[in-house]
Chain A
Amino acid sequence: MIENRMFFIVALSILSLGNAQEENANLILSYPEESEISFFQYPEGTNAYAIYNSQAETTNMYPEQLLESIISATNQDWVDYNTLGGAEKASKKKQSHFDKVKTMDKANNYFELAHKLTLEVGGVSTAIIKFFTHFQETETLSGVSVMQFVDGRWQKTSQTSLSTLSIVVMRMKPEVLKGIVLLNSDDPNIKALAERVSRDGVLDLSLLEDEFRSWYSPEKDETKIELYKDPRTW
């Protein structure tokens, strides 16, 4: 009888501790980071092709290699391998997607690389690459990929705190992004923007996010959109 009771208490205890672990988020915390940031514009015609035939061939030692690995992936394990957090975090692809990748004309299906931001987030090297997708029978689309260097290789990730920055990286004209990161533009409109989004010569992401929102809210600001947004992006 006592043993049964003990078992019940222990079971309850394990259940209780287990349940505590699954609880929903109940607090929002943030950490202010100052980071070095670099901007790179790819030379025209820099494309990432599906150059790999198997996951074993990939090393993902460079951000661009990860994009080549992503476009080459022909099975879910490979997609998981490319993603930080593995299967738990990776997007699930259908077999029809992999069949398409296996048979696609590699020369005519690729990512055209536009520009790249690199920074440190919590001591982890992070890259945000803007690209355009070129897939046959599909219109060209703009895209962006956030990746981090973890366990000796670059892996795709979706950092909540970088989601707005990644959209900004995708939508901004390269010369505008370069001007606000390096603070070296002679263009008066870019200089004015750089002043609005910087404090003491340092780009402040929260100001940049506010600025970005002001393009669309409270009402669409066509002048700013014309000046700063890349017309090729959605």
Chain B
Amino acid sequence: MVKLLKKRHMKIMIIVALLFLSHSLYSQLDYEKFNGNKGKMIFSKTYGYTNLYDYRVNASEEDSIITRKLSSSIPEGLLTDLYANELSSNTKDSVSFKIIMDSRLLVDMNANRVCLIKYSTGSNNTVSEKNIFKAVKTGGNWRELNISNSEIRLLEQILLGTSVEVLFQFYNRWNDPEYPDINKMKLKVKDEEGILNIKKLAEVVTNNIAVLQKYDNK
């Protein structure tokens, strides 16, 4: 009888020990405690993907002039959604409203692709000021982006203040003698690896609008 009790006691002890072991192995970590002390850091974040596109490169009206609604699955289509009423009044024989596409900048920010389109609109004989339309691609689909952050605001400032050609002149490793002002300014906005710092570039663009405008139609 005593032997039996001892055996049973031993069994219980083993089960308790096993339960304790499995609990200590698989119990959740105390995540709340994993906080460290704080310091400060500065770093330069390089965007994984950037593409600058000049709608005028193709020179065909179909690329730079939009007179009808396009599919909302692309950023240009989302832009046409904004002007759906105006565009719908266009007919085959008479175009009273058009979207004049200037340039587009695509930038990957975190897991999203942000698209900025510089454009103006034309109706009858008047052409509007240049505007920026923003879209973002998340989970494979594009949607209009109505909010901004400090990075996107800088990119808007840059795109609105310069032409594609001027931006490439800032970026190009070699100096084109036809752009003497930019050749001087580019030293202030690039790091040792030739990467354009958008904070510095936005500042230079804003402070030199008049100088840069003369290169617009080169």
Do A and B assemble together? Answer: yes
Dominant SS among interface residues on chain B: mixed
Does A56 touch B at the CB level, under 8 Å? no
Does A203 touch B at the CB level, under 8 Å? yes
Interface string of B29-57 (1 = CB under 8 A from A): 10100111111111111111111110100
Q: Which residue of the partner chain A has the closest CB to B104? A: A20
Q: Which residue of the partner chain B has the closest CB to A180? A: B39
Interface string of B87-116 (1 = CB under 8 A from A): 000001000000000001011011100000
Residues of B within 8 A of A36 (CB): 38-41
> Given that A17-B63, A107-B25, A122-B109 are contacting pairs, would A26 and B43 also be in contact in the complex, using a CB cutoff of 8 Å?
no
Does A100 touch B at the CB level, under 8 Å? no
Residues of B within 8 A of A38 (CB): 35-39
Q: Is the CB of B25 within 8 A of A28?
A: no
Q: How far is the CB of A120 from chain B (nearest CB, A)?
A: 10
Q: How far is the CB of A6 from chain B (nearest CB, A)?
A: 8
> Given that A116-B36, A182-B39 are contacting pairs, would A33 and B70 also be in contact in the complex, using a CB cutoff of 8 Å?
no
Q: Is the CB of A116 within 8 A of B28?
A: no
Cα of A3 to Cα of B149 in the assembled complex, Å: 45
Interface residues on B, range: 35 or more
Q: Interface-forming stretch among B8-16, B126-134, B191-199?
A: B191-199
Interface residues in A, total, Cβ within 8 A: 73
Contact of B43 (CB < 8 Å), options: A14, A23, A40, A205: A205
Q: Is the CB of A161 within 8 A of B50?
A: no
Residues of A within 8 A of B111 (CB): 84-85, 89, 148, 150, 157
Dominant SS among interface residues on chain A: mixed
Q: Is the CB of B198 within 8 A of A30?
A: yes
Interface centre among A65, A122, A150 (most CB of B within 10 A): A122
Does B125 touch A at the CB level, under 8 Å? no
Does A35 touch B at the CB level, under 8 Å? yes
Cα of A33 to Cα of B76 in the assembled complex, Å: 31
Residues of B within 8 A of A106 (CB): 25-26
Contact of B50 (CB < 8 Å), options: A12, A20, A27, A107: A27
Cα of A24 to Cα of B111 in the assembled complex, Å: 17
Does A16 touch B at the CB level, under 8 Å? yes
Q: Is the CB of A28 within 8 A of B195?
A: yes
12 chain-A/chain-B pairs, Cβ below 8 angstroms: A26-B51, A26-B52, A28-B47, A29-B195, A35-B43, A40-B36, A49-B25, A61-B31, A121-B45, A160-B46, A199-B42, A204-B41
A34-B42, A38-B38, A206-B43 given; 19 more Cβ-contact pairs under 8 Å: A21-B74, A23-B53, A25-B51, A29-B196, A30-B45, A30-B195, A32-B42, A36-B41, A37-B39, A38-B36, A39-B36, A62-B31, A89-B111, A107-B25, A122-B109, A150-B111, A159-B110, A160-B46, A160-B47
User: Which residues of B pack against A, CB within 8 Å?
Assistant: 25-26, 28-29, 31, 34-53, 55, 58, 60, 62-63, 68, 70-71, 74-76, 92, 104, 106-107, 109-111, 139-140, 149, 151, 154-155, 167-168, 171, 191, 194-199
